[in-house]
Structure 1
Amino acid sequence: MFDKILIANRGEIALRVHRACREMGIRTVAVHSEADANAMHVRLADESVCIGPPPANKSYLNIPAIITAAEVTGAQAIHPGYGFLSENARFAEIVEAHGLAFIGPTAAHIRMMGDKITAKQAVMDAGIPVVPGSEGGVDTYEDAVPIAEKIGYPVLIKAASGGGGRGMKVAETAANLKEAMDTASTEALAAFGDGTVYIEKYLGRPRHIEIQILADTHGNVVHLGERDCSLQRRHQKILEEAPSPALNDDDRKKIGDVVRRAIEAIGYRGVGTIEFLWENGEFYFIEMNTRLQVEHPVTEMITGIDLVREQIRVADGQKLDIKQSDVTFEGWAIECRINAENARTFAPSPGLVTDFHAPGGLGVRLDSALYAGYSIPPYYDSLIGKLIVHGRTREEALLRLRRSLEEMVVGGVETTIPIFLDLLEEADFVSGNYHIRWLEDWLASREN
């Protein structure tokens, strides 16, 4: 097993990886920007290295600085967390070219799944159902017209590269197909350096369901059930739960087995997530994330499996010590992504944290790097914590979530905690009757 791992990230995920390493007897190296010199992951790591000024492109995206930090400190592996360089195939190649282990999938798999067109073809070949759409990129409006007519309006124009809702436009009718294509392509080129777009059938009120998988380098694969990530704002998830209130046991087993066989077929290693849209009992592949997900704790809470520990073991070449028959699902887990933002306008709220109290008690977990006296920098994502609760039933989890939200204190900055307290008053949410557009409709109604 590795003696020392460098954590190429910041915030709560850097702290999460550090904790897993410490429990495995592995020393850690924290890298940080000048703005994060007093961050919790830096304070707790065995060693720390400053890799640049505050902007991410000069620090957390600075590959030469990260590699140098690993070599200087004698780290044997690099864990990229999520975001930043976690799905950068070139970074994975460079890490391994320097004799270090990359705690993630192969560069080839990152590259395959990073291009949505290539990914769609790969999973189709492996037997995973996909949304009806173009077979590849669509270059011109003239090419798009017959494809859209065959699929049937409305259609979705999507960037082949990237994600997060950028380069994604809906064409309701043939009259706005060209405008949607041009806008999506322009956005994709600006955001990802690639203006290639493709076309898919636009689903009206689907759920966003994802399947967590875990695979080693010896051909062993298990799936760890699903997460429901349908509560989204501008294509960004804000609350996730496991299991999904929309699926039954037959749905769950069917899609889990399909995904497990597909992952075996492509020879994947490490953790990964296959994301689907689910509507009227049918699953449609949308993308694969070749990294640890922000929402991984809800899976850990219902399975008891430490995903970061398993990532590290797989990167060390070890076999999974669990079989599919060993995986059991106990109770219900819900995660709220708490941001330093105004709960009405969503404007960022960086600044000094004057007071901090973490909720506790049975079935409560808070993944956060906050502490009283910490100054939240304005340079990065506004996520400051993930509150995860577990209960024997969904009703118990919801009651525990309310109590924990009421107990949590973050003074000095604004947070999105009030949104979740309001959500708990909504009958549709409490009953589990929501879809991927429900939250934005609800937020809009609060403004009126």
Structure 2
Amino acid sequence: MQNRLLLLCFLFGGTSIIAQDCFFEFKYKRNIQLASVSGTLEAGTIAIPFNTKELVDAGKLAPDGSDLRVVNEACEPLPFFVQGLADRDANVLYVKTPEFTTSGITIQLYYGGDGSQSSVIDGLATFDFFDDFEDGVIDDTKWEPVGQHSLYAEVDGELRFTGVFGNGGIFQYAAPRVGYTGPVTFDFAANANNSQVYGIGDTADLQRVGLRYDSGAQSYDTLDIIALMSDTLSGGFNPGLMYPFIQVPRNDLNIMSVSGFIDANKHLNFTRTTNYSTGSENLDTLTITQMEFDALRPFFSSFSTPIKIEYVGIRAALSADPVITFGDEMMVITDALSNVIEVPGLSVFPNPANRSINIKCDRQLPAELTLFDSFGRKIRHYLVTDQTIDVSDLPPGSYLLQMQFDEGLAVRKLQIVR
């Protein structure tokens, strides 16, 4: 990496066009600006909406995400996690970031490799607790089943659980062996139905709060009531609280996020419930005064068809949401520099240019010419039929000319002045 960067700086005279590109083996990049609404936002893991299906369908991103990289402005890698890239147009990219202020920071996404890249997706480095159930064996140091079960296994990259229904009770559950007083955020992808319930539970006893459907009383796919559970013998009871009241299509592996903390009275406070898959969320605070909690963890239960959990990530809840601004997708103009050639007698003049440039070389003119601006964006593509190229409509600034010859590419820096 360092050797290639030094070479490129030599080729282009240290131009800022090259300094901003952290990788040369990827075709595309996109900047994402993160800013605090006020003051300093602490370091932590941020959930960023990401339409991965569109990129995979367009052939720009590998279905397994092996050609995806996330870095800061200094080209230092940032831990990240994303899953189900080929199937989700409303996906989530989780990125662990340093603290930042209202002036913000910029992270860069690179993608579009040549197939030789290995995945650097790392949930363990991104979350405080993480499991994606890909190895086919339940880690007993991370998980425990509570109550009897007819199914408790990792199958096809999912944790699947079904409790025994009947004399053994109802809504036995699986839960990670962790506990938090908060503020904490539980991220997971899981299905839900009347017989499949998830929520927040206590670590000291069986008390837990399940997020449930009111049998379609409001809307068939509205997760609209809570169930207070204190055993595995019943489905709990609804205290009449309509929460979270968000759209969660039944049986789908929705990408969910539930945040909460324990207050001084040992009461559980829900502060956020989000379904990233539908864009539906509830940011109201709900305090559960009917129960006392010692430490929080998510739970997943079912007494019929299995509940399926694709991944679970736990992170500290941030004090506020950042402002997320997406930049345009740009081509990484250095991705083809491995094919750069020296063309005898090649010159581009005048440079600086005003209204036109001339291309001269000791051989046939290039067949094509591509012009990039200082942000790496492709702005012109010419089929070269004459040695003079009109640039009168371009604003002043620094540009890069990429000229396609039969043997490879030649590249020149161009300055336009008025």
Could you state the TM-score of these two structures normalised by the residue count of structure 1? 0.26
- Which structure's relative contact order is higher, taking Cα pairs within 8 Å and 6+ residues apart? 2
Higher alpha-carbon Rg: 2
Could you state the TM-score of these two structures normalised by the residue count of structure 2? 0.27
Larger proportion of strand = 2
